[in-house]
Amino acid sequence: MKNEPAYQLPRISQAGMNMLVYQAILDHQDELKLFGGEADRPGFISLLTRQLLELKTGQVSVLDLQQVAEQLTDSSADLDAKLHDLVLIYDSFETAMLGKYVANTDLLNQLSDYLANVDLSHAHFYFDGFSQTQFSAQEAKLLTTLMQRAASVKVALILDQGTSTPADINEQSLFYQPARTYLRLYQIAKANSITVLPDVHATASRVAPALTQLEQYWQASATGLVSQRTETLADTQAVQLIEADNRYTEVARVAAIIRKLVAEDGYQYRDFLILTRHLDQYATVIPPIMTMQAIPYFSDVSQSMVDHPLVELITALFEIKRKHFQYADIMRLLKTELMLPKTDDGQYLSIDAFRDALFKTENWVLKMGYQGQRWLQKEDWPYARLQSDDLAR
């Protein structure tokens, strides 16, 4: 997609879009009924720009907005005036953007249009992290394209059960939001005659039976399915409530308990699972405490894939092929540290040794200006390291 003409357009910043909106107001000053005198009010342009971007994200075009304005004519003088002004400014804003700039809100639509003409019959897509948020109209359009073109599209949701009809959704349920997402995806698939795969549920419980009992009681009481009666845990010592002043104190207490159970009660570190609703808020707290307590751990906090080493490696591989072994692309590949060479005894080079060799290689490549075919030659590069006493001679 990087080579597509639309993708090559200059990216416009928030400030740039604010300027276009301000210019649109000035151009239609005499036609505006409500916004004409608001252009110089602090914060107004930013709010109006945000409104226009929300319309674009919601796949609401100028024509759609104009039709709504016509349908709601005479319903309210203020609403009529606002819709009238929005249509004028939105149309002017879109005209100013067309063929000259691209905003981040346009990229998903461009990606969807691009993928509609790409063979994805062997591609599988997985989505996670949408249990507490709804897919925007643009995201739903992209998902629809992937459903139609890809081998499979799988979405992970935190749910008790799938809901294929609106009547199955309980507004009081703890899973109300992901249930709405499930229903929307189900309806999109059915509307486009796309086969819906059977739901896959997590079957193995990863927590103690007492915690499962507490969870079930909480869900039932939150949805009004059971009366507010007292229920006793099967193991009253299995669940403990501890109050902490802050996250650091909280995690330190948990780490101390883990260390004690491993040292005195025969537990193993793999027996413990730490759960929290928002793991990202603990991303800077857990590592130092676990390291200080010498507790091996794995954190599955979500990370952006933009700068992930694997993404860098794949991108660099294509760039090396396309640009024929240029310095920047090769260093980009090697610095991912995902391609470690083997030593003469068949063992992978250690990270420290690899980094040292890479730094020396990079310095020599920069000094000698090696590019292209130099990386493919069979002969070894000449390399001489002079000492200070060599210069004295």
Model confidence over 206-217: pLDDT tens digits?
A: 777 888 888 888
208 or 254: which leads in pLDDT: 254
> Is pLDDT above 60 for 353?
yes
DSSP 202: -
DSSP 271: G
> Is pLDDT above 70 for 271?
yes
- Arithmetic mean of pLDDT, 287-302: 90
Rounded percentage of the chain residues whose pLDDT exceeds 70: 96
> Is pLDDT above 60 for 112?
yes
Can you give the pLDDT at residue 389? 58
389 or 196: which leads in pLDDT: 196
Residue whose entry in the numeric block shows the structure tokens 């309980």: 170
> Is pLDDT above 80 for 270?
yes
Which residue from 78, 25, 79 is spatially nearest to 49, judged by alpha carbons?
A: 25
- Arithmetic mean of pLDDT, 116-130: 91
249: pLDDT confidence band, cut at 50, 70 and 90? Answer: very high
Distance CA 369, CA 372 (A): 10
> Is pLDDT above 70 for 224?
no
**Rg of the chain in Å (alpha carbons):** 29
> Is pLDDT above 80 for 107?
yes
Mean pLDDT score of the chain, rounded to an integer? Answer: 87
Can you give the pLDDT at residue 75? 72
> Is pLDDT above 60 for 144?
yes
Residue 226 corresponds to which tokens in the numbers above? 């059971």
Question: pTM of the prediction?
Answer: 0.68
> Is pLDDT above 80 for 330?
yes
Alpha carbon dihedral 236, 238, 243, 245, in 10-degree steps, equals 170
154 or 202: which leads in pLDDT: 154
- Arithmetic mean of pLDDT, 210-227: 76
Distance CA 291, CA 389 (A): 45
Can you give the pLDDT at residue 228? 63
Can you give the pLDDT at residue 193? 92
